[in-house]
Amino acid sequence: MEKKVVIHLFDKDIGVVIKDASSFLRTSHYAFGQIYISCPINTPLEKIQEHLIKVYKKEKIDQFDPNLLYTKDYVYILGEKVGLIQKNSGLVRTKNELYIKDDEDLKNQLTSLCYDIILHKVRKYEKLLETYEHKIKITNMSQAAGKNYFKKKLLTFHWELIHFSNEIIDSVIIHELVHDFVQNHSSDFYDILYKYCPRYDELREKMLYGVKK
């Protein structure tokens, strides 16, 4: 079980994903411009805020994109801000807006769109890297943007990649496909990765801090 909240850190609103755990406050990692923390799900937000201020220096938080992935009013799709309108609100949707019923409906729509986009991109890069065809799964991963289960010929990707630009999504896909050839992160792995994605380090940094494009 998990929930998303917004916590104010050093004059900036940061998305925090709370993963339910029996022990108190074990900060795991940050990605997609969010901080992921394990603690009892009902821990007071003030206590989490106090803990994160001790863990993260202001210089670190300053690197996070100030724009959340989504709010009740907007969502980022492929690096662009798209307005949100509640279904049955009577408002007419424009080209840059999306109808949603609730948060779950938004997630379902984004997951479906993410699958379609990533499937197309994976097929493109499979040919470029001259590797085999993979099954694709879009899910809510715990600590990664993507994973290559090479023995199963299966690639899984985090649904929140849909918030980021095509370049950033491409970098994650290429990373996972390179694992068809090298299953670790040795120099051999990075030699291949940088050949097909020279800006990988820059794009990964953007994804970590929530810079959408």
- Of 9-18, 142-151, 198-207, give the lowest mean pLDDT range: 142-151
Closest to 163 (Cα-Cα) out of 122, 197, 209, 126: 209
Question: pTM for the complete prediction?
Answer: 0.93
Q: How many residues does the chain have?
A: 213
Query: Which residue type does 39 have?
Result: C
Judge residue 70's burial from the number of C-beta atoms within 10 Å of its C-beta, 0-12 exposed, 13-18 middle, 19 or more buried.
buried
- pLDDT at residue 72, as a whole number: 93
At the fourth CATH level, which superfamily is domain 109-209? Metalloproteases ("zincins"), catalytic domain (3.30.2010.10)
Query: Which residue type does 186 have?
Result: S
What are the residue ranges of CATH 3.30.2010.10 in the chain? 109-209
- String of DSSP letters for 14-77: EEEEEEE-SSS-EEEEEETTEEEEEE-TT--HHHHHHHHHHHS-HHHHTTS-SS-SB-SSEEEE
Provide mean pLDDT across the span 88-117.
88
Provide mean pLDDT across the span 44-48.
94
- pLDDT at residue 91, as a whole number: 63
Gap between the Cα atoms of 196 and 174, Å rounded: 7
- pLDDT at residue 87, as a whole number: 83
